[in-house]
Amino acid sequence: MKMRIVVAALALVAVASPAVAFQCPKLIKQINDKTANRLDATSYDARTAAAEASKLHVAGRHAESEKMAQDTIAKLK
């Protein structure tokens, strides 16, 4: 019984991890879409933060990338 629970938990983690990792590009795209036609300082800072979040994503630091992107999106609202 315990073995089934452990296997189920590991399967859940294996399925959920890639899903979380793919949130970064979606959030970065959202930043770039919101700042595409803007030329103010806030949008410049947002595009810079999106580039940094993209670098973090490529480096495998998804939690940091997602946090940076979410914080940047919040500043754009």
| Per-residue pLDDT at 69 exceeds 90 | yes
Q: Find all residues with CB under 8 Å of 54, minimum gap 6, and list them.
A: 24, 25, 28, 65
Region of residue 60 (left: phi > 0; alpha: psi -120 to 50; beta: else)? left
Greater model confidence, 73 or 10: 73
- Rounded distance, CA 19 to CA 37, Å? 30
Task: State both tokens at 50.
Answer: 């999106």
What pLDDT does 32 receive? 95
Whether pTM > 0.85 for this model: the answer is no
Cα 56 to chain centroid, rounded: 9
